[in-house]
Amino acid sequence: VRGTKTTVLVNYFDELAAGLGEKIRQAKDGEVARRRFALEIARLGRRLFSGEDKVAWCGVLAPFDLLNAMGVTSCFVEFVGAILASSGNVAALLEEAEHAGYSTDGCSYHRAVIGAALRGLMPRPDFLVATSAPCTGGVGLLENLARHFRKKIFLLTLPQSNGERGAAYLAAQIEKMVEFVSAQTGRQLDPERLRRAIEYTNEARALMAEAYELARAVPSPVRSRDLKNFGVVMALFLGTEAAVEISRTYRDEFAMRCERARHNPPPPRLRLLWIQNRIQFKSPLVSLLEREYDADVITDELNAITWEPLDPDDPYTSLARRMLSIPFLGPIEHRIEELKKLAKSYRVDGAINPCHWGCRQGTGARGLVEAGLKEIGVPVLNLEVDCVDPRNFSEGQLRTRLEAFIEMIGQSRRN
């Protein structure tokens, strides 16, 4: 175990996992998908903090299935920021980073992680993998962590285009990354293990696609919290059996809910698209939507599957293609087109964009995103909010704006 502070976190994840396991066993209504997902997060947390595994801190778009196949427990660092925010203990860590000179204008996911590292709450990794996308701030964070931990860092530069040239450039870098990881861990990549990991990834992808297809139904089986952070965190489990099991559980649960709704149709509710990040700390916004405004977030931008199944015979190129399919690269038109596709296929009434303070890549183009969705008749509510830092959260103001927005889309629906 790497230190007393991280031991406390290991105990926390153990207790969390035990509690979730018990709840899953006791569930009588078959509603276990979200808990199964959370259980895997707890297990991942334990592995990251226990000191027993090889650990890599990474950028959001790192090929986690490949790292899993190499026996490395890896995680994008923003995940830690989100966990800290949801635990309610993030404010002190943000202050720690700010006292060390990190600007309050920067991303609070990143500041929370730096604060945790400075306080000795981040386990020392074996190495780091930075990804040049989705944001330049993330590269800076990983560079700072590499400096802090005195560990080696590998950089994956993602070009903006998914064409042959870009994919070949990135695929060659991924191949180099495998050499780098082998050098850091002393472990070679076993081709059979990679093949199996790719099979798991593809199976999970197919099941997720089925779950999303069910989510598009009217009425949707999805409740606002079901898929919070789902797509982005599932990336960490790709290449493992756990990803398959979680995806299957969601698929089955949504199918069951659709069946129930067929026999006993619920009253109509508003259908919403959530753009980019959820608010990670406890806030009443989603409850307000569900209880007071009869509205559900039925799809998240970050959950969309934008990639084709991986090719086990050409793993590096297909991993590169998956990474480059993410709509946050290159010009905004690509992202707007993907958002339009999501909005149409889920038949949403409106979209909520929590304009995370400090996020240039995601929030930066909010005016263009709003205009793009308006073209297909989907209104967007831009909220001024920080998704990780609760210190300036203004519930009253947000409630008023939410109320006005819901009223407006309810009215246009009636018309």
Partner 1 sequence: MQERQLIGFACAYTPLVLLQAARFTPYRILPIGEAPDRAGSILHDNLCPHVKRILDRALADDLPELAGVVFMNSCDAMRRLHDGWGAARPRDRRILLDLPMEAGEAAVDYFASELKRLGRTLGEWGGAALGESAVAASAECYGKLYGLLEEASRLAARGKLDGGSAKLQELFNLSVTRPPQEASSVLEQAISEAPSASGGLDGRVPILIFGNVMPDPQAFSLFEECGVRVVCDDLCTASRMHAPATLPAGENYLQALARSILSRPRCARMLDPATPGALAKDVARRARESGARGVIAHVVKFCDPYLGRMPAVRDELRSTGFALLVLEGDCTMRSLEQHRTRIEAFVEMLR
Q: Which of 1, 18, 52, 103 binds partner 1 (CB under 8 A)?
A: 103
Phi, psi of 241 (to 5 degrees): -65, -30
State in angstroms the smallest separation of the CB of 172 from partner 1: 6
161 binds partner 1, rule: CB under 8 A = yes
Q: Which is nearer to partner 1, 274 or 293 (CB)?
A: 274
Axis crossing angle, helix 108-118 with helix 77-87, rounded to the nearest 10: 90
In DSSP terms, 56 is beta-bridged to 74, 127
Question: Euclidean distance between the first and final Cα of the chain, in Å?
Answer: 62
Segment near partner 1 (CB under 8 A), from 167-175, 209-217, 253-261, 397-405? Answer: 167-175
State in angstroms the smallest separation of the CB of 397 from partner 1: 17
Q: What six digits make up the tokens of 200?
A: 């798991």
Axis crossing angle, helix 77-87 with helix 90-99, rounded to the nearest 10: 130
Measure the CA–CA gap between 373 and 368, rounded to whole angstroms: 9
Q: Which is nearer to partner 1, 87 or 392 (CB)?
A: 392
Segment near partner 1 (CB under 8 A), from 6-14, 198-206, 324-332, 393-401? Answer: 324-332
3-state secondary structure of 55: strand
Q: Which of 29, 105, 313, 375 binds partner 1 (CB under 8 A)?
A: 105
Nearest to 116 by CA among 165, 82, 143: 82
Q: What mask of x and - would describe binding to partner 1 in positions 337 to 356, judged by CB under 8 A?
A: ------------------x-
Q: Which is nearer to partner 1, 245 or 384 (CB)?
A: 384
317 binds partner 1, rule: CB under 8 A = no
Q: Which is nearer to partner 1, 173 or 318 (CB)?
A: 173
Segment near partner 1 (CB under 8 A), from 9-17, 94-102, 213-221, 263-271? Answer: 94-102
397 binds partner 1, rule: CB under 8 A = no
Q: Which residues of 307-340 are buried (b: 16+ CB within 10 A; e: fewer)?
A: bebbebeebbbbbbbbbbbbbbbbeeebbbebbe
361 binds partner 1, rule: CB under 8 A = yes
Measure the CA–CA gap between 414 and 200, rounded to whole angstroms: 45
Phi-psi region of 53 (alpha: psi -120 to 50; beta: other; left: phi over 0): beta
Q: Which of 50, 68, 202, 363 binds partner 1 (CB under 8 A)?
A: 363
Q: Which is nearer to partner 1, 93 or 406 (CB)?
A: 93
State in angstroms the smallest separation of the CB of 116 from partner 1: 15
Nearest to 61 by CA among 353, 389, 307, 339: 307
Q: Which is nearer to partner 1, 35 or 340 (CB)?
A: 340
* Helical spans, DSSP H, in 346-394: 360-363, 366-375
Measured in whole angstroms, the distance separating CA 19 from the mean position of its chain's CA atoms is 23
Segment near partner 1 (CB under 8 A), from 81-89, 170-178, 227-235, 246-254? Answer: 170-178
374 binds partner 1, rule: CB under 8 A = no
State in angstroms the smallest separation of the CB of 109 from partner 1: 12
132 binds partner 1, rule: CB under 8 A = yes
State in angstroms the smallest separation of the CB of 102 from partner 1: 6
3-state secondary structure of 323: helix
172 binds partner 1, rule: CB under 8 A = yes
At 255, which helix (H) or strand (E)?
helix 241-263
Q: Which is nearer to partner 1, 369 or 402 (CB)?
A: 369
Axis crossing angle, helix 136-149 with helix 77-87, rounded to the nearest 10: 90
Residue 39 half-sphere exposure, CB side, CA atoms within 13 Å?
A: 18
Number of residues this chain uses to bind partner 1 (CB under 8 A)? 51
106 binds partner 1, rule: CB under 8 A = yes
3-state secondary structure of 351: strand
For residue 264, CA distances in Å to 27, 297, 380 come to: 22, 21, 31
Segment near partner 1 (CB under 8 A), from 149-157, 257-265, 289-297, 389-397? Answer: 149-157
Q: Are 212 and 221 in contact (CB under 8 A)?
A: no
Segment near partner 1 (CB under 8 A), from 17-25, 135-143, 261-269, 292-300? Answer: 135-143
283 binds partner 1, rule: CB under 8 A = no
Binding site for partner 1 (CB under 8 A): 100-103, 105-107, 110, 130, 132, 135-137, 139-141, 143-144, 146-147, 152-155, 157, 159-161, 165-166, 169, 172-173, 176, 330-333, 355, 357-361, 363-368, 371
